[in-house]
Amino acid sequence: MKNNLILLLLSVCFSSSILQAQELSQSYLYDEFKDGLVLFKDGRRSSAMLNYNTTVEEMLYKNGEQIWAIANPLEIAAIDIQGDMFVYVNKHIFYQVVKVGVGEVYVEWKTTYFSQGKGAGYGGYSATAAITNYSTFQEGASVSKLTPNEKFSVKPDNRYWIKNAKGKYVNVTTIKMLQKNFPAKNVKAFCEENNLVHTKHADMLKILEYCFR
C-alpha cells in the first residue's frame, strides 16, 4: 500500500525548511500536515500526511522532511483529510466538498499574494520601489516567483462552485452569480438583513444554505 502511494507521487520535492517562510506558511489550508486517506477509484486506500497549498492549488504529501506533490490525480476518487473531503477537478486542483443544508458546494481554496512594497533601506518598505531579481520557490511541481527583500501579504481569493443538472461545475462566487443560479431567492436582501459578506467563507456557506432551501 505504501508503494502504491509512492508511485503516485512526483519525483520532484523540496526541503520542508522552506515552509518556515511566512509567505509559504500562510498558503496552507491547515496549520500542519494532517493524517488523511487517498481513496483510489479501483478501491485501494493509502494513508498519508496531507495538506493543501492554496496559492498553487496543489494537494501535498509529507514524508519525513520532504514534501511531494500528488500526481496521477485521475486515479483518485477522493481525498479524506480528517473528515474534509476533496475531489479532483482539473490540472492539479482539488475542490473541497461541503454540505450546506440540503445542497452541496465545492470550495476552491485559493489565496493571492499582494506586494506591500520592496525593501527601501533603513528597515522600511516602498510600495513604489521597482521589483527586480526574482528568486523562485517550488511547491511540488509548481514554481512561483518571489523577491527576497519584498514584503507580501496573502489575501483569501476562494471560488465557490455548484453542479448543474448536467453535472457541470457552475461558478457562484459573487452575489450576481448566486442570484442568476437561484432566481427564486433575494440573495442581496438576505445578506443585508443578516450582515453577511460573501467574501468571508463562513458567511458564504450561510448564504449558500439559504439559496438551497
Same domain, 55 and 119: no
pLDDT single digits (tens) 52-62: 999 889 999 98
pLDDT single digits (tens) 22-79: 344 568 999 999 999 999 999 999 999 999 999 889 999 988 888 888 878 999 999 9
Q: How confident is the model at residue 156 (pLDDT cuts 50, 70, 90)?
A: confident
Same domain, 75 and 13: yes
Asked if residue 101 is part of any domain, the answer here is no
**Domains of the chain: total:** 3
Asked if residue 105 is part of any domain, the answer here is no
Asked if residue 164 is part of any domain, the answer here is no
Asked if residue 98 is part of any domain, the answer here is no
Tell me the residue range of the domain where 79 lies.
2-91
Which residues lie across from 89 on neighbouring strands? Answer: none
Q: What is the pTM of this model?
A: 0.76
